[in-house]
Structure 1
Amino acid sequence: HGIAAVALHNSHHIGRIGYWAEQCAAAGFVSIHFVSVVGIPMVAPFHGRDSRFGTNPFCVVFPRKDNFPLLLDYATSAIAFGKTRVAWHKGVPVPPGCLIDVNGMPTTNPAVMQESPLGSLLTFAEHKGYALAAM
């Protein structure tokens, strides 16, 4: 038994990291993936008023004998940035607890993530999502 580590540096948007995890599971491996998103911060810390982190996705997979792996693949934000863009284009609100405006006030208006000055995405699971984002 052993461990392998791979680092990806200076990449751009890589899409769904679960794609790589599924390949690992198909080969019989457990894998854990952390993505440190650089660029414009979009996620506010727990009880924060402005963005300090990227969405910093996390993924883990466990292979199973039935060929249906147990896979977790999600951002550390309560909602994906892309979902706010879809809601904005449709003219519909996002669920409560996902966004704050530029003043740090809760909002369901997806425009706060599309128009300057930007608001912030909130972390999922409050302090637990914040801790995972900080990793």
Structure 2
Amino acid sequence: MQLSLEQAAGLCRMAALGAGAGDETAQALASAAVSAEAAGLPSVGLAHLLDYLDALEAGRIDGKAEPVVTRPALAVYLSDARRGVPHLGFERTLDDLAKAARLFGVAIFAQKNAYTCGRLGHFVARLAERGLAALAATNGPALLAGSGSTRPVYCTNPLAFAAPSADGAPLIIDQASSATAFVNIRKAAKQGEEIPDGWAVDADGQPTTDPAAAMKGALLAFGGPRGANIALMVEVLAAGLTGANWSLDAPAFATGSESPGTGLFVLAMEPKLLDPGFEQRLADQLGRLRAHYGVHIPGRAAVQATQRATSDGLNVPKTVVQRLSEFAGRYSA
């Protein structure tokens, strides 16, 4: 079904309200979902919003939670999401975080006790819009085997990085420590498709191409031990420094009534304090890599997709629109 961005945002907001979210939480979820869908990332867009709506209904997300943000140091913001969504505390802190980064050169947002983040790139992109470079890390329930292990000990533990560029297309890198995202395993299972070798092992620790078996076993890190070490690094940033649940201790994000209590770590940096011409230098370098060396530059495709979505709207599966409409109907009723 074809929806304009405004229609999609309104539907998502009403659906979140219908699932029990407060006004501000509903707006934050709708904005993140539509932004991901417009950027050409449907696996973390409107379809993924349904996971949040189910979690709201089941109590894994407290839709009325009020995050508590403290400032233990002038450039550090510490948020307790209080079983709510990760977006709300960040959005409330965003302007102050950016001001602190411009003043001190760097600033940190650290959050615990939240539901999972969805598209991690959303958080660093919000800072790149303000002319800042940013690095983010987050964790979740254990899905990924550690180095030398076949049992899940980490989540997919993504890292995201963004930097502003003078040509208007920020560099945005957003990738999991696992060989693939969990949503891709789940999608393959729903569609009855096999997954590639090297993505996962089954419950007995044996390599598998069966997504259903993979969901009972463990995902594998990209690059073997090196990727697993990155997952551990992310775990320390996202859970260790923030006081959030370690992945091993995080309740499931898709079942039960307990919040996974995950963490989010965001480092914001003011590049102009180091190099006033950073944005132009980055634009020139990325242009050289793209034009003369055939390098794919992450982030450009998302900007182009968003531009198309702004003019042409979104093409959303009818089943997703129907489910969102069902949740929205509960609010309007």
* Aligned-pair CA distance for 1:106: 0.7
Question: In the alignment, is residue 7 of structure 1 matched against residue 110 of structure 2?
Answer: yes
Please tell me the residue identity of whatever aligns with 1:42: L
Percent identity, aligned pairs only, is 32
* Equivalent AA in structure 2 for residue 78 of structure 1: A
- TM-superposition CA deviations, 1:3-58 (whole Å, max 9, x none): 10001110102210111211111111010001122x3x110013322111111111
1:123 aligns with 2:221: yes
> Does 2:120 correspond to 1:17?
yes
Equivalent residues in 2 for 1:42-81 (5 A)? 42-81=143-182
Tell me, what secondary structure is at the counterpart of 1:6?
A: strand
Between the two proteins, the alignment pairs up a number of residues equal to: 130
Cα deviation digits, residues 72-127 of structure 1 (max 9, x gap)? 1111111111111110111110111101011111111001244xxx2000001212
Q: Which has the higher contact order (CA 8 A, sep 6+)?
A: 2
Q: Distance in 2 between matches of 1:5 and 1:24?
A: 12
In the other structure, the counterpart of 1:106 is: 207
- Cα distance in 2 for partners of 1:46, 1:57 equals 16
Stretches (4+) displaced over 4 A:
none
Q: Is the 8 A contact 2:117 2:138 kept in 1?
A: no
> 1:132 is paired with a residue of what secondary structure?
helix
Query: Which residue of the partner structure matches residue 135 of structure 2?
Result: 32
Q: Which has the larger radius of gyration?
A: 2
CA contact (8 A) 1:46 1:122 kept: no
- Distance, in Å, in 1 between the alignment partners of 2:172 and 2:116 is 20
TM-score, length of structure 1 as denominator length: 0.90
What are structure 2's unaligned runs of at least 5 residues? 1-103, 234-333
- 8 Å contact 1:26–1:67 — kept in the other structure? no
Give the equivalent residue in structure 1 for 2:232.
134
Equivalent residue for 1:92? 193
- Is the contact made by 2:157 and 2:177 (CA closer than 8 Å) also made in structure 1? yes
Structure 1: which 5+ runs fail to align?
none
Letter in 2 for 1:32: L
Provide the TM-score with structure 2 as the length reference. Answer: 0.38
For the residues of structure 2 that align with 1:15 and 1:29, how far apart are their CA atoms? 21
